[in-house]
Amino acid sequence: MKLKSLSSYICFLIVFNLFNATQAEDQIDIWNKKQKENLEINNKKDIENSTLNNNLKINSAPNSSDLIKIEETIKENSEETKIFGIYDPAKNDFNINMWSNTNADDIRSAIKRINKINLSETSKTFLENILFSYAYPPKGMQNEEFIDLKIDWMIDNKRSNLLEEFIKQNKSFHNKKKVVQYLVDENIAKANVSEGCKKITFLDKNIKDSYLEKFKIYCLVFNDKKNEAQLLYDILREQKKSDKFFDDKINYLLGITNKTSNKIKEDNLLNFYLSSITIDNFKYEPKKNTKKIIWEYLNAANLIKLENLEDKEKIRNLEIAANLGQFEKSKIFDIYKRIPFELNNLINAVNIYQTLNTSDSRALIYQKYLLSDNYENKIKLLFLLEDLFKKDNLLNVYSEFMSDNLRTINSSDIPENYKEAVEKKIILQDSFIQGKIKYNDKILHRSRVLKYFIGETDKKKAQKDFNKIYKKISKNKKYFFSAKDSALIESLNKDGFIIPKGYNIGEISKKYDIPSNLINLAKNNQSAFLALKIVEIIGEDDAHDLDPETIYFVTHLLNQTNLFKLRNEILISALPQRS
């Protein structure tokens, strides 16, 4: 070959390879930002920009407040670590390396403790923002475990909306079939199969799961697409993923056979559901070991019936199921209402209830309560009924009922000797409805300076308001700068406000005992883990319920780690007075 021809051939190869490389790169901008920057990530991972095997290229520095852009090169079999989540980490002042300085065991232990707490709305919001920000897993944790940690939390807390958002934001991820099956089963359990069939659309060609394939086939039958159902069913059988039970049920539903077995299979919800819709006069007696999700379906489909009120054993089993959250609590009181008593027994209920079996005694006192027209008698009967439930360890059935009924009684109608006891039994509402803020410029942490954190005024105007209010307050020698005031001033200082020289932030902070282990987390740049610890600290309390010292040290720690958006959530919930 001549030299000229050889040179031309080499040039052709170079151009050809460059063209192919360009075509292979399919960039996906998760958060749709307009500008691109290539900056080095300081997380001990050396990412080479010229290598096509990269899964992720980070286009902003991890400590920048700018939004982060991720470019993903499509390469299905790449072993490079991918990141999964819902939220842009910059939304809450995090970055994708938010866990890089934290050990996996610390995360596991913290999540285990948090799962034992009945979290407030404030804590739940914090936890969701932390867990579901796009980020690399912590040291010592594989990506699969990190994904499972997120999935398990959503499932355990019945966060279907988050699960669907997670699927939409992350096309392919470990254990996706578990998420899809949860969403499907959740809707079957609600006896809402049409909605469950919509969730099956989250399946993709990479998921091979016989349970979901069977449900997909049933959905086609349900939507009167029997030809398509038959085709998929034939494929399922060819792949040997069907079984005799499903064959029997689907052939009956397809109209291939005109009879079906009366066998009730309860190994999973789909088989139980197919049993219930194909058996004439379907009857099923749930047992103690019946799965909770089957109980839920039985409730929703109204398949639990008590035809014989003399069946005390069944009533007792239903009471136990309700206490375990398997059976609707309200239906227990419906059963009590139906149990017949003679008029004389109702009149003398308080004297004779002890002679009856425990279920009947509760039913008698409940009916007596319904017939009573005196508030003091009603309260007495509610407390007596509580004792009867407590005696049989069934308080879960009763506590909410008692609270709701006590709440209906006007405080002026409650006898003085019962007021304290009644107040203790009323369960506080789960959701806190924030009223309109009432600004009070005589108290710094309730003043209109708060408008800056709410976003209703700019920094320049807020500085003028602060100077004016602080000057006026300082003239009042009786005014005491509280922990809430300190939290506000320190946050203003962190945001670049000019603080009067007479106020020594360093000296003020020494007055409050902040745990040294939390301070060390801030110093070691473990912002995400520190935020997780704050979730533990807040726990069951909403921000407006926190004591002033806790408000101070929580905002202090958030300031130290530059988690300003989470800090502002605390400030605008905890500090203002609301109508």
> What are the tens digits of pLDDT across the range 500-513?
988 888 888 788 88
Other Cβ atoms within 10 Å of 550 Cβ, number: 20
CB 565 within 8 A of CB 555: no
572 and 469 assigned to the same domain: yes
Please state, in angstroms and rounded to a whole number, the distance separating the CA atoms of residues 3 and 370: 105
Mean pLDDT of 383-402: 94
Tell me if 215 is assigned to some domain.
yes
Same domain, 291 and 407: no
DSSP 84: B
SS3 133: strand
Mean pLDDT of the chain: 85
Q: Which of these, 371, 381, 377, lies nearest to 402 by C-alpha position?
A: 381
State residue 514's pLDDT score: 85
Domain end residue (candidates: 245, 277, 305): 305
Are 322 and 421 contained in the same domain? yes
Q: Are residues 457 and 385 in the same domain?
A: no
Residues paired with residue 71 on neighbouring β-strands, in sequence order:
57
Q: Answer yes or no: do 475 and 544 share one domain.
A: yes
- Whether 554 is in a domain gets the answer yes
Within 10 A of 33 (CB to CB), how many other CB atoms are there?
17
Question: How many Cβ atoms are within 10 Å of 486's Cβ, its own excluded?
Answer: 25
What does the angle CA 147 – CA 152 – CA 157 come to, to the nearest 5 degrees? 135
Query: Same domain, yes or no, for 335 and 402?
Result: yes
Domain identity same for 325 and 285: no
Q: What is the DSSP string of 62-74?
A: TT-SSPP-EEE--
Query: Where does a domain end: 305, 322, 341?
Result: 305
Residue 166 belongs to some domain of the structure = no
Q: Does 322 share its domain with 379?
A: yes
Query: What separation in angstroms does the CA of 372 have from each of 332, 348, 355?
Result: 20, 13, 21
- The verdict on 273 and 328 lying in the same domain is no
The verdict on residue 31 lying in a domain is no
The answer as to whether 80 is a domain residue is no
Tokens 């009590």 -> residue: 336
pLDDT digits (tens, 9 = 90+) for 401-456: 999 999 999 988 899 888 888 888 887 544 445 668 899 999 999 999 999 999 99
**Higher-scoring residue by pLDDT: 129, 28:** 129
Going by their DSSP bridges, the two strands 56-58 and 437-438 should be labelled as unpaired
DSSP sequence for 16-65: HHHHHHHHH-----TT--S--------SS----TT-TT-SEEE-S-TT-S
Count how many domains the chain has: 3
pLDDT at 100 over 80: yes
Residue 30 has pLDDT above 70, yes or no: no
Instruction: Provide the 10 A C-beta neighbour count for residue 343.
Output: 7
Measured between alpha carbons, how far is 513 from 557 in angstroms, rounded to an integer? 12
Looking at the domain assignment, is residue 239 inside a domain?
yes
- Residues 352, 295 within the same domain: no
Taking CA atoms, 241 is separated from 84, 94, 298, in Å, by 31, 45, 28
Q: Three-state SS string across 333-402, please?
A: HHHHHHCCCCHHHHHCHHHHHHHCCHHHHHHHHHHHHHHCCCHHHHHHHHHHHHHHHHHCCCHHHHHHHH
Residue 562 domain-assigned (yes or no): yes
- Residue 321 and residue 257 share a domain: no
Quickly state the pLDDT bin for 531 (edges 50, 70, 90).
very high
Domain that holds residue 187: 175-305
Q: What pLDDT is recorded for position 42?
A: 37
Q: Structure pTM?
A: 0.76
Q: For 116-173, what is each residue's pLDDT tens digit? A: 999 998 999 999 999 999 999 999 999 999 999 999 999 999 999 999 999 999 989 9
Closest CA to 126 of 478, 533, 434, 544: 533
Residues 316 and 331 in one domain: yes
Q: Is residue 508 part of a domain?
A: yes
Give the end of a domain, one of 305, 324, 341.
305
- Least confident segment among 26-40, 101-115, 212-226: 26-40
